[in-house]
Amino acid sequence: MKREEAMAKAHDLVSKMTLEERASQLRFDAPAIDRLGIPAYNWWNEALHGVARAGTATVFPQAVAMAAMFDDEKMKEIGDVISTEGRAKYNEYSKQGDRDIYKGLTFWSPNVNIFRDPRWGRGHETYGEDPYLTSRLGVKFVEGLQGEGEVMKTAACAKHFAVHSGPEALRHEFDAIATKKDMFETYLPAFEALVKEAKVESVMGAYNRTNGEPCCGSKTLLVDILRKLWGFEGHVVSDCWAVKDFHENHKVTSVPEESVAMALEAGCDCNCGCTYQHIMSGVKKGLVKEEDITKSCERLFTTRYLLGMFGQCEYDDIPYEMVECKEHVELALDVARKSMVLLKNDGILPLKKEEIKTIGVVGPNANSRVPLFGNYYGTSSRYITVLEGIQDEVGSDVRVLYSEGCHLSKDRAESLAMADDRISEAVTVANHSDVTVVVVGLDETLEGEELDQSNGVGSGDKDDLLLPEPQRRLLQAVADTGRPFVVVLMAGSSIDLSFAQEHANAILQAWYPGARGGKAAADLLFGRYSPSGKLPVTFYYNTNHLPEFTDYSMKGRTYRYMEEEALYPFGYGLTYGRTAVTDAVLKNVPAADTDILVGITVKNEGSTEVEDVVQIYIKDKDSALAVKNYSLCGFQRISLKAGEEKRIDMVIGNRAMTVVDEEGERSVKGKNFALYVGTSQPDKRSVELTGTRPLEIDFTI
């Protein structure tokens, strides 16, 4: 169905409603209007990494883990699977008259905020710190969710618009101050791409203010930029209870009716929360315009018509058996393998079962289900922890010894015991094992959304980048045995791994890897597959060089602007092979208004079949407006057998040559550029860690 047809149908239906009925449909929990044949509909559903909060579903790795694949086409496949399961569940629930929350077709995903500061607890919901990577992955994910049929398969939502990445504890009152340059250079490009390229059906406003305006009532964001500049045609939804913040916390209005008027005038069509229950009171007080109510109601029903809700559509026959089917589970497992990042390996990996009699597995995340799924998750019918994955892999051939080692964050596992009550057991395990796998990290009880799932630190943000103190003592104790050990880190953000880098034989970043994540980790540890993930965020040594968390200037943040050396740089990740970019040439004559075509020769000089990611970064050598370092402008995942050589072509959009001025205007200013083509950034630390240097191509337009 074309939007024009859906708009006409929506206009006709809304015209038959009373004003009170129109107002009621602007709530996230819109009631039925029986006389018009309109069933109740709850707009709130989640699909960050699988259909969430409504029972069984395929649980994919957390968003930041999926980003580590650097694979936009795989993101589209994931989005398609999620929408298939969402439709299957919706079809069955609707038949039973179940119109509850989390059971609709409007998914409030993806989160395309920029992970600008590693302390932000919700950063693992995003695709990392780079606006280009976030844009490419987000576009494909939305395309997968929304489909290419006669009607939309499901409706995606780009959130949280905009300039939103902590602190969580202050989000209901915080004013994020960002220059126009930072906004259009870093904070807004992903939203622009999702609107213009993917035609995302919905945009969610953020809790905070941006440059003085509450985001869910911001004329600058919702009118001037979103609708006028970018031509957005879908609907806008508030973050949950964000409109209430206008008068209660931001203090930009005095009463709920004023908040309603501000939000509706800015084009916030659907209210997740309770404030739009004051719409009719606002009308009576002369604050809320009837035409704003009608306009928002028509936008919302346009979406419902586009989803085929008022008739038969091609997705009605998707059977419930598609939910967590074998093919979907296999895809999630494949994504988990591809997302994990090998940060260090002195040659101990892959482990060889025939050379091991006893393997130790210790650590608070080794046998915990919680770090498998992150937040905003569905329910899996089966979970495989790292311990279970290793046990399944080695079978009866190798003895597996296990110790929790320590509590995730408390100083003892048993409340009546002395501090470090599991350390001696962990040391015993290490001393009796040929190699020990130490599984440490965080989970959603330590990093996440404000007050979400009762996280242990309230706001969900981190104070620093250190592992919890009991885990640091555990690592020290295992290291002190002098026995070989491998660290598996399960966390959704940058962690200070300097101790592990110095003392461990290998480090595998496993993120929050989904329901069967333990099997994926075992597959990599024992060499069934080679690790191939790349970091979508910078791993810093500490926060000493970072600006204040509340400072939204990009100066000193992320790989594009940082001035110090990283512990593990953005784009870094090892494999069990040795991928070399042996040649890279321009295949056209670049100009300011043309794309760049690069011909690349890649060879696996190792003895193991691998997948790897070819990355291209660009630097403007002339303009003072260019980012301090360089920017990712192209990536492609490639598979190579041992000794195999491949030639590929990569297209770099001409937008990569643009810079953003202080007024937020984007244009080409420079003449001289450099491209860096390799499997990492060209920075000194990446070269040191990988032993390879990207090829440089200098060109002039």
Task: Determine how β-strand 202-205 pairs with β-strand 235-237.
Answer: parallel
**Active-site residue, selected from the candidate residues 245, 269, 393, 447:** 447
Token duo for residue 480: 């002190």
3-state class (DSSP) for residue 106: strand
Long-range CB contacts for residues 584-592, cutoff 8 Å, separation at least 24: 584/675, 584/677, 584/695, 584/697, 585/697, 586/697, 586/699, 587/649, 590/654, 590/657, 590/673, 590/699, 590/701, 591/654, 591/701, 592/654, 592/657, 592/668, 592/701
Q: Is 420 an active-site residue? A: no
3-state class (DSSP) for residue 114: coil
Assess contact for 437 and 490: CB atoms under 8 A. no
- Find out whether the peptide bond into 172 is cis, omega within 30 degrees of 0: no
Q: Is 327 an active-site residue? A: no
CA distances from 488 to 92, 511, 522 (A): 40, 9, 10
Rounded to whole angstroms, the Cα distance separating 569 from 616 reads: 15
Assess contact for 474 and 440: CB atoms under 8 A. yes
Long-range CB contacts for residues 33-37, cutoff 8 Å, separation at least 24: 37/310
In the block, which residue shows the tokens 């002098």?
482
Task: Determine how β-strand 435-441 pairs with β-strand 485-490.
Answer: parallel
Q: Edge-to-edge strand order for the sheet containing 399-403?
A: 341-345, 506-509, 485-490, 435-441, 358-362, 399-403
Considering Cα of 395, then 396, then 398, then 401, what sign does the dihedral take? positive
**DSSP for residue 263:** H
Q: Give which of 166, 157, 86 is closest to 119, Cα–Cα.
A: 166
CA distances from 187 to 33, 182, 566 (A): 40, 7, 22
**Active-site residue, selected from the candidate residues 239, 443, 461, 612:** 239
Give the catalytic positions in this structure.
239, 447
